[in-house]
Amino acid sequence: MMKEFIREEELIEAAQRLIRIPSVKYDGKGTGYEKREGAPFGEGIAKALDCALDICKDLGFRTKNCNGYAGFAEAGEGEELLGILVHLDVVPEGKDWSYPPYGAEIHDGSLYGRGVIDDKGPAAAAMFALKAAVDSGIVLNKRVRLIFGLDEENDWEDMEYYLKNEELPSAGFTPDADFPVIYGEMGILTFDLVARCEEADDDSSIAGGDAGNVVPDFCSASIKLKDGSLYEVQEKGRAAHAAVPEKGDNAISKVMEALYRKKFEGNFDCSEAICRMIDFYHDRIGFYLHGEAMGCDLSDEKTGRLTFNSGVIRTAAREAVLSVDMRCPVSFGKDMILEIITEAVEPYGLILDHVRFEKPIYADQDSPVIKSLLKAYRSVTGDESEPSTIGGATYARAMDNVFAFGPVFPGRESTEHRKDEHLPVAELILITQIYAEAIRELAT
């Protein structure tokens, strides 16, 4: 067992160092630190990569910064490459935390901070798992490479760059989901629904959410009335990952329903674009979580039921834009679902923009890599839980023979993408032990 070789205090300190860096992607609209040369995703993410590589250098690993798009650290020898894919970017922190989101404070035995589960805590665990494997004296017959992604929460430009310019592993895992191991991931369809009009309206506004893949925990609206006054409404919700919208409380839906009720009084003087978006939201989205009113409540036995999340809404003088994130069962293709969505939005004069689809993955559970990961998990925990599928997206989609592996244990509620994201320190140490065993299984 590898437990005796895990440097627990250094592991915790490394996770804290990473969490204290606000590594939100720069979007040109006030989110994230600005870009610079060598930092295509913003200064904050570049600092997180520098920090991770510095930690790995101190641990004795070979390191490389891939022009700011990604980075890696490596140990072991051999022709074959085992990859462990993590990411250092995070979603925006949101509001109303009990403790500072970038404070990396420990309270009641748990480490708090944006990214502690998704994915900086697991990144630190992977670093110290590899160090434990090296210190244990086992012979690594493969090179083990920790690949640090930097754009996982957004556009995956990091993986696009890495795939074009760096060596690909023959197998691996990504610690960015659930234990014991994930063999299937839903397709992900994201798009903007846009309502446009000719007349400008600089007085009315609706704003809510930070990211499409997060259930929004706030939304506000200020709508001009015919008497010149403003009707204002604000709502708080509860953030959650878009793949599990039932764990959140969508603040945009609350505000849009309030606006729909008020609109019936007949004294709105806002733009036609805003009015059409309000009507559409009430008729076709509402508080449904599976696209029921849209006509796309689909499911299969392989990966389950489609989920629908309204993540961000913004209005400008002549338009209203709603960003949607859908997790789609593996049995249904993009074209079929888009046809349903297009038919639903056309009567309201809305158009689809910025459509993006990430193909689902579905693997054979008898894969040697899956069996090795399962063996490592069970040898440490004694838990006989079976592999499963998820609605989330991991780097397992980027490379062949790579599977999502932890860090969330069966039956544990995960707080990623939510306020007060936290992870028990004891679990961080246990996760590291599991990953060290997985390296032994896969690289010797």
Q: Is 118 among the residues known to form the active site?
A: no
The 3-class SS string of the chain reads CCHHHCCHHHHHHHHHHHHCCCCECCCCCCCCCCCECCECCCHHHHHHHHHHHHHHHHCCCEEEEECCCEEEEEECCCCCEEEEEEECCECCCCCCCCCCCCCCCEECCEEECCCCCCCHHHHHHHHHHHHHHHHCCCCCCCEEEEEEECCCCCCCHHHHHHHHHCCCCCEEEECCEECCCEEEECEEEEEEEEEECCCCCCCCEEEECCCCCECCCEEEEEEEECCCCEEEEEEECECCECCCHHHCECHHHHHHHHHHHHHCCCCECCCHHHHHHHHHHHHHHCCCCCCCCCCCCCEECCCEECEEEEEEEEECCCEEEEEEEEEECCCCCHHHHHHHHHHHHHHHCCEEEEEEEECCEECCCCCHHHHHHHHHHHHHHCCCCCCEEECCCCHHHCCCCEEECCEECCCCCCCCCCCCCEEEHHHHHHHHHHHHHHHHHHHC
Residue with tokens 């520098």: 50
Structure tokens at 77: 């020898």
For the chain, the residue count is: 444
Strands 187-196, 407-408: pairing kind: unpaired
Q: Is 364 among the residues known to form the active site?
A: no
Q: How far apart are CA 360 and CA 331, in angstroms?
A: 9
What are residue 3's phi and psi, to 5 degrees? Answer: -55, -40
Please tell me which residue in 43, 89, 93, 421 is annotated as part of the active site.
Answer: 89
Contacts of 368 (CB under 8 A, 6+ apart): none
Please tell me which residue in 43, 74, 151, 152 is annotated as part of the active site.
Answer: 152
Burial class (CB in 10 A: 0-12, 13-18, 19+), 187: buried
Using alpha carbons, select from 268, 265, 264 the residue that is nearest to residue 282. 264
Active site residues: 89, 152
